[in-house]
Amino acid sequence: MESNPSTMQEQSPCCLEITMEVHSVVPPPHKSTIQKLKTRLKETLFPDDPFRQFKGQPTKKKWVLAAQYIFPILHWGPNYNLKLFKSDIVSGVTIASLAIPQGISYAKLASLPPIVGLYSSFVPPLVYAVLGSSRDIAVGPVSIASLILGSMLTQQVSPTGDPVLFLQLAFTATFFAGFFQASLGFLSRLGFIIDFLSKATLIGFMAGAAIIVSLQQLKSLLGITHFTKKMGFIPVMTSVFHNSQEWSWQTILMGFSFLVFLLVARHVSMRRPKLFWVSAAAPLVCVILSTFLVFAFKAQHHGISVIGKLQEGLNPPSWNMLQFHGGHLGLSMKTGLVTGIISLTEGIAVGRTFASLMNYKVDGNKEMMAIGLMNMVGSSTSCYVTTGAFSRSAVNHNAGAKTAASNIVMSITVMVTLLFLMPLFHYTPKVVLGAIIVSAVVGLIDIPAAYHVWKMDKFDFIVMLCAFFGAIFISVQHGLAIAVAVSIFKILMQITRPKTVLLGKIPGTDIYRDLYHYKESVKIPGFLILSIEAPINFANSTYLNERVLRWIEEYEAEDPKMHSNSSLRFVILEMSTVSTIDTSGVSFFKELKQTMEKKGVELVLVNLVGEVMEKLQRSNEAGDFMKPDCLFLTVGEAVATLSATIKGQSSK
């Protein structure tokens, strides 16, 4: 296909056409099955080659590097100084002011006691500070994982009817979530599983989940006492309007006032990133203000329900509450798997986003292990599923966090709260927690991103809608499952119906390109040049066989004048794009060759990739394809050589 002009010039400046050198096609170097397996496994499981940095280092250095790899704190700790600490203390206190009200609210979303949300903002950040490699992540409970945990567990166990069992299951699910996360990262580094959640899926799913979460808050925002336990759009709306006599105007007034305040604060911070503290401080301001209002006006007697008494003290141990047997084991494993993957996706995405923003590197697999261990530790210290939360991490970043130490600062602030400030939350009205949740999840509905998807790829948009409507009308986890299934189906469709493209010669060159795309390119009489644009395997070999034959028939049927001189003699398959074939692919070539021979047409393969060449060679019909006059390196060379053959024959 290519020819270096300078070389040609040297060799034969005036008779290039005749002496054009044909480059020999060679089989690839031999590799045993074991070697191939090793290469493939390495590419699959260790694409980032984590042990590269250890190569060629002295043993002691290797130990240091390994320790730093496992505990990134050893990497940044020794160089820690007062200046960094000043930045971290500001950002740490800022995110603590956000983490405390959000922790209480999200625990409620998961149908757990509010204090569990605070426990979960104390231990996990400490663990992450030691193990995590991101500087910007702020660790704690997040809305969607909380929602899913709650909704999956309430399907079988009532949080009010049997609160101890519910708590046990929540901690067990957290343990499994952590275990799956750490396994994905460590045991087999199968982190690619989260790659199957495409951006389009996530946009639709997050928007759907945000709406479901917001609808749930109608309970607190309207002050309804008899509310459905279901999550779907229809049961919730039915419940809201059937219980309209329970609506409490005091609650509604208070709730919507604070909601408007929070949304305005959010808007201000979004317009001016320097004013990040406005939205960061707003939830705490709301909590303080509303608590004060309730306390001053004794509003709890006027239809406004409050949190009530909260226990003081640090996280009690909970390893004795983990249940690895009994009838609910399947439920907690399933819940752990789903919440684990969802929260991992969020955590990794947050880490990557800020890493690429600040141009440092986050090792995805390392992060999975950190998040997983953090949840396993959390599950035995009364914490539920936590991860890197998007909104809090953004605040952390804007507040100037420089190292994971900001998580330690946050953790200490939460500790102080747990030890001394719990009685202050007694009169905090539930409605304000609802408002905090709604204002937090509103940001998950990303309309510009949805529009971008619509503009870029209509099929991705359909996947997004599946996730969105599935989440709203069926259930959050089913919406996700449907969207993943649809996106995998799309990939399979692409494989089953790969494109075959007719190539033509761009005049005045030796370049062959898509005839449809490059309008100036022309067909070569007597040749049909096709490019197959996918690996050939069982799922498409039948289709490709039919399609290639159809191309031939169409060629023959088409405008007979063009072929008056030369009927179809050669079918050239440009194979650069066929990266691999399987047994069915080998049969495809065999059958195609046989059919062609019956038609008196010769099959020529161009630019076989190593693996494909090797497999064709190994099959019994090797001789047929490996003849030098059926195998070329470029389409240009094939056409030139074969044209010469035709001329030679006709001149005889």
Using CB under 8 A as the binding rule, the residues of this chain from 440 to 469 that contact a second copy are 452-453, 455-460
Residue 20 or 421: the one with the smaller Cβ distance to a second copy is 20
Phi, psi of 516 (to 5 degrees): -70, -40
CA distance 467 to 461: 10
CA distance 494 to 609: 21
User: For the window 149-188, what string marks contact with a second copy as x by the rule CB under 8 A?
Assistant: ----------------------------------------
> Which residue bears the tokens 């694409």?
47
CB of 207 to a second copy, least distance (A): 15
CA distance 2 to 123: 62
What the block records as the tokens of 505 is 């010669």
**Count of residues near a second copy by CB under 8 A:** 107
DSSP 79-147: G--HHHHHHHHHHHHHHHHHHHHHHHHHHHHTTS-HHHHHHTTTHHHHHHHHH---SS--EE--HHHHH
**In the window 27-46, what residues touch a second copy (CB under 8 A)?**
28-29, 33, 37, 43-44
CB of 90 to a second copy, least distance (A): 27
CB of 389 to a second copy, least distance (A): 21
Residue 215 or 444: the one with the smaller Cβ distance to a second copy is 444
CA distance 378 to 383: 5
CB of 468 to a second copy, least distance (A): 15
CB 642 within 8 A of CB 22: no
Mark the segment that binds a second copy (CB under 8 A) among 175-183, 245-253, 281-289, 511-519.
511-519
Mark the segment that binds a second copy (CB under 8 A) among 24-32, 170-178, 208-216, 400-408.
24-32
**In the window 89-148, what residues touch a second copy (CB under 8 A)?**
none
Q: Does 5 bind a second copy (CB under 8 A)?
A: yes
What the block records as the tokens of 90 is 């500001």
Q: Which of 35, 38, 47, 627 binds a second copy (CB under 8 A)?
A: 47
CB of 206 to a second copy, least distance (A): 15
β-strands 500-505, 512-514 pairing: antiparallel
Q: Within a 13 Å sphere around the CA of 47, how many CA atoms are in the beta-carbon half?
A: 8
Mark the segment that binds a second copy (CB under 8 A) among 71-79, 106-114, 378-386, 487-495.
487-495
Contacts with 595 (C-beta within 8 Å, 6 or more apart), sequence order:
545, 549
C-alpha closest to that of 71 among 148, 131, 11? 131
Q: Does 565 bind a second copy (CB under 8 A)?
A: no
Q: Which of 35, 38, 49, 629 binds a second copy (CB under 8 A)?
A: 49
Burial of 623 (0-12, 13-18, 19+ CB in 10 A): exposed
Contacts with 650 (C-beta within 8 Å, 6 or more apart), sequence order:
none
Mark the segment that binds a second copy (CB under 8 A) among 105-113, 166-174, 261-269, 630-638.
630-638
Q: Which of 290, 487, 528, 630 binds a second copy (CB under 8 A)?
A: 487
**In the window 488-507, what residues touch a second copy (CB under 8 A)?**
488, 491-499, 505-507
CB of 396 to a second copy, least distance (A): 22
> Which residue bears the tokens 């390109």?
513
Residue 401 or 544: the one with the smaller Cβ distance to a second copy is 544
C-alpha closest to that of 322 among 314, 333, 312? 333
Q: Which of 38, 48, 319, 420 binds a second copy (CB under 8 A)?
A: 48
> Which residue bears the tokens 């945000």?
210
**In the window 52-91, what residues touch a second copy (CB under 8 A)?**
none
CB of 327 to a second copy, least distance (A): 25
What the block records as the tokens of 375 is 């949840």
Residue 16 or 289: the one with the smaller Cβ distance to a second copy is 16
Phi, psi of 510 (to 5 degrees): -115, 20
CA distance 223 to 597: 80
Distance of CA 165 to the CA centre of its chain: 33
Residue 51 or 297: the one with the smaller Cβ distance to a second copy is 51
**In the window 335-394, what residues touch a second copy (CB under 8 A)?**
356, 359, 364
**In the window 517-556, what residues touch a second copy (CB under 8 A)?**
517-519, 533-535, 537-543, 546-547, 550
CB of 385 to a second copy, least distance (A): 23
Q: Does 634 bind a second copy (CB under 8 A)?
A: yes
CB of 236 to a second copy, least distance (A): 31
Q: Which amino acid is at 646?
A: I
What DSSP element (H or E) covers 435? helix 430-441
Q: 529: which strand partners?
A: 572
Total Cβ atoms within 10 A of residue 636? 20
Instruction: Give the chain's largest Cα–Cα span.
Output: 111
CB of 180 to a second copy, least distance (A): 18
CB of 557 to a second copy, least distance (A): 8
Q: Within a 13 Å sphere around the CA of 60, how many CA atoms are in the beta-carbon half?
A: 0
Residue 253 or 562: the one with the smaller Cβ distance to a second copy is 562
Residue 412 or 495: the one with the smaller Cβ distance to a second copy is 495
C-alpha closest to that of 542 among 592, 480, 494? 592
CA distance 176 to 379: 9
Mark the segment that binds a second copy (CB under 8 A) among 95-103, 123-131, 218-226, 629-637.
629-637
**In the window 590-619, what residues touch a second copy (CB under 8 A)?**
591, 594-595, 598, 607, 609-610, 615, 618-619
CB 290 within 8 A of CB 254: yes
**In the window 182-241, what residues touch a second copy (CB under 8 A)?**
192, 195-201
CB of 485 to a second copy, least distance (A): 12
> Which residue bears the tokens 């919730």?
236
CB 195 within 8 A of CB 345: no
CB of 472 to a second copy, least distance (A): 22
Residue 514 or 624: the one with the smaller Cβ distance to a second copy is 514
Residue 28 or 313: the one with the smaller Cβ distance to a second copy is 28
Residue 88 or 363: the one with the smaller Cβ distance to a second copy is 363
Q: Which of 65, 250, 412, 514 binds a second copy (CB under 8 A)?
A: 514
